[in-house]
Structure 1
């Protein structure tokens, strides 16, 4: 199938372009971006122009920041195109619900992707936990925004989500692997005095689940989730790439297709083929709840 990539920034070039190129399901037929291009691919700077000029492109993959994404998705759906959304699927829950209603009315597929759910050991972890009673769980998610989003001020603008930009990856894993849903009860959000979104967050959920997100971390990344059960302790490390049970390495990937984004594009191909919609908003709901319930505290100014 022909696909258009909208938004040609770091994540598009690092993950989406090579995943599409290596897939037997997709042909990258066009890009839409004010500045970025992909060599050998027809480039547009305007979404409307692309949709009009390329009716043969059935699918649009949106890699824009969350705030402008809704208008692009709406145009694509109105033009009868299937839409794939980079995480988070929107700047607000209301936008996401609206897009799903539009997609159902138009009869097109819509996919809210959560790339961290496709890490190698997430499905094995979910399988192991399926019949267990969870007694406690903790997320420790720490990285350096200067390394992963250098100079990208939009992350700290309203709608950019701040530390929840990486933190929602942890929440996407948590909401997939736990055998029963949890809900947020309290949060503490630390906002740099010169920024509009938090840089560190502490979360308290129901059923003994807690989380700590830090986007100003100095040193190696911590992308870990530990889940205690009566049958032992499961831990996911490196964003779900490794799993241990009671400290011992456990499990092996069961899917021959390796890589988070290649798996997403495989899933999108299947979704379009069967005419489905996948708009799981559980991770974004937890983020919205944190902003609603969270206690706001001031932190030192942040500069690049």
Structure 2
């Protein structure tokens, strides 16, 4: 199978992750990039998707723009008969994602929400170990420095940009994949800078299943050592994920889970879906982030200065 794919958005994540993953995958051939400003050596780049679709023979489109722009681009691609891979978060709203899914399923096209953290090496063994166990507590810390990971990216602070939930939704995507019971948010505090529309920090509380307790700390101003950790306390012991799912410990013992290959795994899964003409749309992480905005008490904090 040879899938001719176009990459919409040529920012850091596309250059660092998508392009190398496409290059090593036997089922994909990168034929075009789409960006009004960026250029990449050896790749034909068009100012918009329409121009690329007119000039190139394209089977699929990967949409890696800021989330506020993804719906219109993905919709255009689907209506043109192209399979679509959505970088996380897949859309700026749940209704937008639902509409994309409706179009894809009605057309027999593949729509895939590529939650990259769900492909971290600890996720599958963590899910397997938690199966059948009673969850007592889930503690999550997702703390990083926005100035290091997203310098100059103003879209994060605009409506739909998610703020600290841009990285935090990665943790939520892991939790929704590994927990054997449902996670329901019951309270949230959102710290919103005076000059921003989205939070720079958050504290979450919730329930897991019938009796499990959930708490989380999200911080976008973490200096020094960054923290991406999840700890799950069960009736038979504690399981911990660190480094965003790259490390796994059970009862304090470090497990051998292999190297991290998140984006190559995404493209392997996308190829399989395209081959079968199937969609895989996971809205659960976005729903949890949306719930935090719905029930969260906002607290204004100091302006964010880049």
Q: TM-score of the superposition, structure 1-length normalised?
A: 0.97
Cα distance, 1:37 vs. partner? 2.3
Are residue 2 (structure 1) and residue 1 (structure 2) matched? no
- Corresponding residue for residue 84 of structure 1: 85
Residues 29-48 of structure 1, C-alpha deviations (whole Å, 9 max, x = no match): 01110111222111111211
- Distance in structure 1 (CA, Å) of the matches to 2:167 and 2:45: 29
8 Å contact 2:157–2:198 — kept in the other structure? yes
Q: What SS is found at the alignment partner of 1:100?
A: helix
- Distance in structure 2 (CA, Å) of the matches to 1:175 and 1:191: 26
**Unaligned segments of structure 1, at least 5 residues:** none
Are residue 299 (structure 1) and residue 304 (structure 2) matched? no
- Distance in structure 1 (CA, Å) of the matches to 2:40 and 2:275: 26
Residues 251-279 of structure 1, C-alpha deviations (whole Å, 9 max, x = no match): 423xxx85100000110000100111111
8 Å contact 1:121–1:251 — kept in the other structure? no
- Corresponding residue for residue 51 of structure 2: 49
- Corresponding residue for residue 288 of structure 1: 290
Cα distance, 1:144 vs. partner? 0.1
Aligned residues: 300
Q: What SS is found at the alignment partner of 2:183?
A: coil
- Corresponding residue for residue 210 of structure 1: 215
- Distance in structure 1 (CA, Å) of the matches to 2:196 and 2:42: 39
- Distance in structure 2 (CA, Å) of the matches to 1:277 and 1:303: 41
Query: 1:136-175, aligned counterparts within 5 Å?
Result: 136-175=137-176
- Distance in structure 1 (CA, Å) of the matches to 2:133 and 2:16: 37
Query: 1:1-304, aligned counterparts within 5 Å?
Result: 1-54=3-56, 56-206=57-207, 207-253=212-258, 258-304=260-306
Residues 9-60 of structure 1, C-alpha deviations (whole Å, 9 max, x = no match): 1111111111111111111101110111222111111211111222x21000
Cα distance, 1:102 vs. partner? 0.7
- Distance in structure 2 (CA, Å) of the matches to 1:258 and 1:189: 31
Cα distance, 1:246 vs. partner? 1.8
Residues 224-260 of structure 1, C-alpha deviations (whole Å, 9 max, x = no match): 000000110000000000011121102423xxx8510
Cα distance, 1:179 vs. partner? 0.5
**Unaligned segments of structure 2, at least 5 residues:** none
8 Å contact 1:113–1:264 — kept in the other structure? yes
Cα distance, 1:105 vs. partner? 1.5
8 Å contact 2:137–2:213 — kept in the other structure? yes
8 Å contact 2:27–2:271 — kept in the other structure? yes
8 Å contact 2:35–2:47 — kept in the other structure? yes
8 Å contact 2:246–2:260 — kept in the other structure? no
8 Å contact 1:116–1:172 — kept in the other structure? yes
Residues 85-128 of structure 1, C-alpha deviations (whole Å, 9 max, x = no match): 00001000000000000111121100011000111111100000
